[in-house]
């Protein structure tokens, strides 16, 4: 029988919710020590810029998004301006990004929706944000948490992976995972905790080869033995 990969095996976890919450609290307290300055990596000055940058960040790096947004927002600083942008001009600016044609179309259609539905202003409600082109729950939670100080859980690839490794969820579906994570983390800190998880996922707890022996969470991680047993 073929040996299962580490990402197919979930760690043991307490059955009682209170015990899972305590385990999560210990991890988040340690994350706070390791990443005291975590913040949104997408450079932005307002909700519109953050919304656009988050849409652009799909399937590319934040650094690459940050390389194109200065020209983008200097040329089209708000929804009204971007709604009237020539598509070929948006494509030129976004060309360094993957799927730049689709992203150019998404930004323009998103901006048109903002103008038509919300007078050009970014709404501060999740149910309104997800009606916009290219905006799902993950993007909406990024905007709510970082532009409006409304806590949200951003289940990107890092948060989903680490939450499963820590036993906070066993779900791969982002929405289902978000619901599980919400049960073990204090709501007022969701946004900041997600930034710290993302930093840890990028720097240490990688997808294929997590640096477990260099990890400041090794003693708290229920997947430590699993991951290193698979890698041995």
| CA 82 to centroid of chain Cα atoms | 24
Are 126 and 152 in contact by the 8 Å Cβ rule? The answer is: yes
Cβ-count burial 189-220 (b if 16+ within 10 Å, e if not): ebbbbbbbbbbbbeebbeeeebebeebebeeb
The residues annotated with a catalytic role in the active site are 138, 156
Are 163 and 200 in contact by the 8 Å Cβ rule? The answer is: no
**Structure-token match 């289902």, residue found:** 176
Confirm or deny that 212 is annotated as ligand binding. Answer: yes
Are 107 and 92 in contact by the 8 Å Cβ rule? The answer is: no
Confirm or deny that 205 is annotated as ligand binding. Answer: yes
Q: CA torsion, points 149, 195, 63, 111, in degrees to nearest 10? A: -30
Confirm or deny that 194 is annotated as ligand binding. Answer: no
| Binding-site entries for [4Fe-4S] cluster | 205, 212, 215, 221
Residue ranges of the binding site? 205, 212, 215, 221
């Amino acid at each position: 029988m073929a040996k299962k990969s580490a990402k197919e095996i979930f760690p043991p976890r307490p059955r009682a919710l209170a015990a899972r919450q305590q385990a999560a609290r210990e991890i988040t307290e340690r994350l706070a020590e390791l990443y005291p300055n975590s913040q949104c990596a997408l450079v932005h000055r307002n909700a519109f810029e953050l919304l656009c940058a988050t849409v652009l960040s799909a399937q590319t790096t934040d650094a690459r998004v940050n390389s194109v947004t200065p020209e983008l927002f200097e040329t089209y600083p708000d929804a009204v301006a971007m709604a009237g942008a020539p598509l070929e001009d948006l494509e030129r600016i976004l060309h360094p990004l993957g799927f730049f044609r689709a992203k150019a179309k998404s930004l323009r259609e998103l901006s048109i929706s903002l103008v038509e539905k919300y007078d050009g202003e970014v709404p501060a409600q999740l149910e309104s944000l997800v009606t916009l082109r290219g905006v799902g729950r993950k993007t909406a939670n990024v905007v709510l948490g970082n532009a409006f100080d409304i806590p949200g859980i951003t289940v990107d690839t890092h948060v989903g992976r680490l939450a499963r490794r820590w036993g906070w969820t066993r779900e791969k579906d982002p929405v289902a995972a978000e619901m599980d994570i919400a049960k073990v983390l204090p709501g007022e800190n969701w946004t900041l905790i997600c930034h710290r998880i993302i930093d840890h996922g990028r720097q240490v707890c990688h997808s294929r080869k997590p640096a477990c022996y260099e990890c400041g969470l090794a003693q708290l991680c229920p997947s430590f033995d699993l991951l290193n047993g698979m890698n041995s």
